[in-house]
Chain A
Amino acid sequence: MKIESILATKSLNVITVGPDQSLREAVDLLAEHNIGTLIVVDEAGQPIGIISERDIVREAARTEAVLGQTVSRVMTRDLITASPEDDLETVLQTMTAKHFRHLPIMDRERLIGVISIGDVVKAQLDKYQGEVDTLQTQIIEGQV
């Protein structure tokens, strides 16, 4: 199974933030869209980092003035991206091994979506559940 089957059921509306925007603005975006992560993009729309609610909490623990800080101060810079053609299984393995929960999806040079580890695990579970259901149906209904 490929990542594109997860992207197909998302409306491809990626919420992004600029590196010079404030954490106040980032928090507002997270709350407005009820999400946990924003992709940080430069002026050309290219992803240059990722910022999660955890990054903001960590900064809040350090300073009361957290909301005045810029996004670039707390974002994670070493970004790994995937493509729609990547395999679900290897992506899950990579996310687990490297401990990240969100993955920007690039179609050639363009940011087209973000998937979460929850999306990947759900797709994997649905796949297994589907296989089990198919086999059970054959056993139960297949008696001739």
Chain B
Amino acid sequence: MPPVGNEASPLRVAIVGSGPAAFYAADHLLKQNGLKVEIDMFERLPTPYGLVRAGVAPDHHKIKSVTKVFAKVASNPRFRFYGFVEFGKDIALSDLRGHYHQILYATGAPTDKRMGIPGEDLKGSYAATEFVGWYNGHPDYHDRQFDLSQERVAIVGVGNVAVDVARILCLTPEELAVTDIANHALEALSQSHVKEVYLLGRRGPAQAAFTNPEIKDLGNLADADTIVLPEEAQLDDVSRAALEASDDRATRKKVEILQGYALRKPTGKSRQLTIRFLVSPVELIGNAAGKVVGMRLVKNALEATAAGTPSPKATDRFEELSVGLVFRSVGYRGAALPGVPFNERWGVILNEKGRVVDPETKQPVVGEYCSGWIKRGPTGVIGTNKPDSIETVSCMLDDLARGSILHPSEPQASKMEELVREHQPKYLSFVDWLRLDEIEVKNGRAQGRPRDKFTRVEDMLAALGR
């Protein structure tokens, strides 16, 4: 076979997904000196950027500025965006194999882990991802309804998503009104009756997964007091010993912030946000109508594992918490893609440093790769996807050098465009997205907001005259 990656025969790469891992991989590929590469990025939604658009909280506008970096990548003439084109529906793996030398999956971790306790499916019990998708205007969650007439809400988990949900529930309508929160959520949250919000962590303050800027934010809410129980803010012996033995300044600071909250007295603000530690829900309690009215919690104590990790062990002490709304945020999982080997245990594509691995032979599948959460699981911040994607792209470049790539029968860009046009005539280009972006920003500015999001696919298509 003639060499690939030059003017006569560019390396053709398909990327499935358009979040941070997808864009960091595209960026790294396009930056390779002497390599002629063409990238087509396929996104199920009409809009790009994955969780930067649909996950990052609306009041964390600065975090979203990373999209400027991604838009620069997309402006490269060797990059093409196919929005509203779903892998497994509009295009199949066989289509990609017939048109590209390499395929990269960066589809993230869209499903949530369950708590596995009785009552989990009662009315009023939701995955935090549904709520996040709803307030961020993700079209899949446009029609969801959450009963915000309830006064007491529990969020199970103490990661950054749990903190986002708690904060959004505690912000005032005025604070929300200057963000790019979806209009339907702004309206519903402005009528909210929520008074008490509980964040529930199964381990102690030193093990909580939230990061320091997020937890610091919670101490500065305009109309909510943040409360930590003094007895739960104290470190147990296992955690204290582990912290003293390490030079982990971030965790020390985290504990210091939380212990600071424990010293505060409520100041009479309208809402209370209570961060609890060392408790696990064991059951959600429902009423005759099948609706959540409370949860039973068991108190935990920490014991070190053989490798030294403070791990929660249930005690024989229980308590009941009266709540009418429950959001679980205890972890996320990737979803299997049609025809792609999946590791059920971790909820990721079966891979070795980003090379997709055949479950039978344990050998890499030629031409298929993954990066981001679908590769390593849902961990890290947006920037963590950069080293992750660079590792995968390094494997792609090594394999290209060894000639271990796919040999598509129709590697021409125009052939793929024909196929997409045939299967999804309403697909969006990046220029189409820039038009939507411009409309959203213009409509937002008129209301003193950074953006007014389209939240339905029909509206996006209509705005483009489709």
Contact = CB atoms under 8 A, between A and B. Distances in A.
Interface in A48-69: none
Nearest to B362: A13
B432 to A, nearest CB: 23
Interface string A1-26: 11011011111110000000000000
Given A87-B207, A141-B69, A130 B246 contact: no
B352 A11 contact: yes
A8 B307 contact: no
Interface residues of B, number: 44
Contacts of A35: none
A133 B305 CA distance: 33
Given A130-B385, A137-B69, A85 B376 contact: no
A93 B245 contact: yes
A138 B67 CA distance: 10
A93 B384 contact: no
Contacts of B65: 137-138, 141-142
Contacts of A133: 383, 386
Contacts of A141: 65-66, 68-69
A34 interface: no
A142 B69 CA distance: 11
Give the interface SS of chain A, mostly helix, strand, loop or mixed.
helix
B350 interface: yes
A6 to B, nearest CB: 8
B307 A130 contact: no
Given A8-B343, A8-B346, A91 B308 contact: yes
Interface string A111-130: 00000000000000111011
Give the interface SS of chain B, mostly helix, strand, loop or mixed.
mixed
B98 interface: no
Contacts of A127: 380, 384
Contacts of A82: 305-307, 309
Contacts of B207: 87
Nearest to B68: A141
A142 B62 CA distance: 5
B387 A129 contact: yes
A50 B167 CA distance: 48
A138 B62 CA distance: 6
B368 interface: no
A97 B246 CA distance: 10
Contacts of A135: 383
B7 interface: no
Contact of A83 (B66, B305, B343): B305
Interface in B331-383: 343, 345-346, 348, 350-354, 357, 362, 375-377, 379-383
A126 B388 contact: yes
Contacts of A28: none
B383 A129 contact: yes
B275 to A, nearest CB: 20
Given A5-B376, A86-B309, A93-B245, A131 B381 contact: yes
Nearest to B384: A130
Nearest to B242: A90
B310 interface: yes
Nearest to A6: B376
B352 A85 contact: no
Among B309, B375, B387, chain A packs the most CB atoms within 10 A around the CB of B309
A50 B6 CA distance: 48
A80 B307 contact: yes
A129 B246 CA distance: 20
B448 to A, nearest CB: 13
A89 interface: yes
B463 interface: no
Contacts of A5: 376-377, 379
A34 to B, nearest CB: 13
A137 B383 contact: yes
B352 A9 contact: yes
B222 interface: no
Interface of A: 1-2, 4-5, 7-13, 80-83, 85-87, 89-91, 93-94, 97, 103, 107, 125-127, 129-135, 137-138, 141-142
Interface of B: 62-63, 65-66, 68-69, 207, 211, 242, 245-246, 248, 251, 305-311, 343, 345-346, 348, 350-354, 357, 362, 375-377, 379-388
The 4 A-B pairs of least Cβ separation, nearest first, read A130-B384, A133-B383, A134-B383, A82-B307
24 contacts: A1-B379, A4-B377, A8-B343, A11-B351, A13-B362, A80-B306, A80-B307, A82-B306, A83-B305, A86-B305, A86-B307, A89-B246, A90-B307, A90-B308, A94-B308, A126-B384, A127-B384, A130-B383, A130-B385, A131-B383, A133-B386, A134-B66, A134-B381, A137-B382
Given A9-B375, A94-B308, A138-B62, 10 more contacts: A9-B352, A9-B354, A11-B362, A80-B307, A82-B309, A83-B307, A90-B309, A91-B309, A94-B307, A135-B383
